Structures are given as C-alpha cells and as structure tokens.
Amino acid sequence: MARMKFLCDAERCIECNGCVTACKQEHEVPWGVNRRRVVTLNDGVAGAEKSLSVACMHCSDAPCMSVCPVDCFYTTTEGVVLHDKDQCIGCGYCFYACPFGAPQFPQDGAFGMRGKMDKCTFCAGGPEADNSPEEFRKYGRNRLAEGKLPACAEMCATKALLGGDADEVANIFRDRVMNRDGKGASVFGWATAYGKQDKAAPAAQSAPKPGAKP
C-alpha cells in the first residue's frame, strides 16, 4: 500500500513558485489562501540561499488531528491527512499545532470572519463523492482518484518537489544524491542523518579485529 509523501530537494528548488501557481490553478484556491508556498532561507546571502516548497506534510502522527476539538480530520489508507469541512468550526487550533503553517483560513466573510480551514489535500479531495462538483467546490480537484499525482509535484520544472509513494520518492532522491558531482554518499546516509562525518567510522574500521575480545 502506498504511503503518500512530499519531498522538496533544496539543492534543486529555484524559487520559481511554479508549484504554488499549479496548486492555485488546479483547485481554484481563493485569494488569501495558500495551500503551498515557497520559503527561502538566507535570502540574499550569496551561496547560502536555499528555497523549499512547503505545504501540508501529511504527517503520520498529525498534530492538527490531535488538537481538533470536533475531530474533523482523518487519514486515508494512503496516508493522506484530510478533513471534513462540514464538521470544521474554523477555530484555528490546527493552525497553532501545525509546525509547517499548513492550515489556511479564508477571511472573505463579514468583519474579517474566519472561515473553515483549508489546506493541501495531496490532490485527494475530501469526503464528498470523488470528482463531484461538491468535492471540487470544497476541496478542489481529486487527482489521486484519477490515478495522478499532486499538480505541484508533477508541474515542478526542476523536479525539486517530488510527490508520491514514500518508498519510491526515497529511491528517486537516493539515485539523485548518489549521482551528484562531488558529493554523493557523503550527503546521504547514516552519518549525515545521525552523526558528524568525522566521528562516523567506516564499516571496515568498526568491524572487530581478529582475536579481539567482543
């Protein structure tokens, strides 16, 4: 069973905002609601600028789901975190809980009233009939039900943003890192993730010597 995830490669993202535009266009997202956005770190610092495309990360243990007072969130069998807008009361707790700022609230009502929460659906719609006008109006297009991946990932020109089954996405990223000039295994693997490069012992050195006590 697929476990859907996004992955953004900061080495490739050129801050073109193509993913943001694709999402806006695909779902006809209203003004003021940004299901996806590009965040730039070290903006303007030569050589240190990195951009990342951020949206709902469809967490395995989603904090939005934990704090929702009306329990309007659910996780699909593919690991996509979705919510029922008919149940949502627009309280905003999910926005406080989310580490990525994914939940968005339309403010087009009277007196700046906060509407029901809107967020990235991994292009999987919501709990209405698949690809019905009702589903499109509330959640946007259901590309997953059409056998397609999210529009942002498929639209990405440099393929910085990957989406799909987590195993397959990880394989693509591994291939890519291993093929990068001058880097490769040094920026992908156990030592990078869990320890410093100088402290990490190669497998040959860490193996016990013959005759040594265990």
Partner 1 sequence: MSGRTVVACAALAAGLMAGCGERPAATVYKQGEYSGKPDTQPWAGAPFNGDRLAWDRAIKSRTSHQNEYSRAAAK
Q: For residue 83, give every residue at least 6 positions away whose Cβ sits within 8 Å of its Cβ, in sequence order, or none.
A: 64, 68, 72, 73, 74, 117, 119, 126
> Which residues neighbour 99 within 8 Å (Cβ) at sequence distance 6 or greater?
63
* Whole-Å CA distances, 58 to 37, 146, 176: 15, 20, 24
Nearer to partner 1 (CB atom), residue 1 or residue 48: 1
Rank residues 175 and 181 by Cβ distance to partner 1 and give the closer one.
Answer: 175
Q: Least distance in Å: CB of 14 to partner 1? A: 16
**Positive or negative: CA dihedral 15, 16, 18, 21:** positive
Measured from the CB of residue 15, what is the shortest distance to partner 1 in angstroms? 19
Give me the least distance between CB of 165 and partner 1, in Å please. 5
CB of 115 to partner 1, least distance (A): 17
Query: By C-beta, is 12 or 107 nearer to partner 1?
Result: 12
Footprint of partner 1 on this chain (CB under 8 A)?
Answer: 2, 70-74, 76-78, 82-84, 86-87, 124, 126-131, 142, 144-149, 153-154, 159, 162-165, 168-169, 171-172, 175-176, 179
The single residue listed with the structure tokens 């006008």 is 133
Q: Which is nearer to partner 1, 34 or 88 (CB)?
A: 88
Evaluate whether 46 touches 188 at the Cβ level (below 8 Å): no
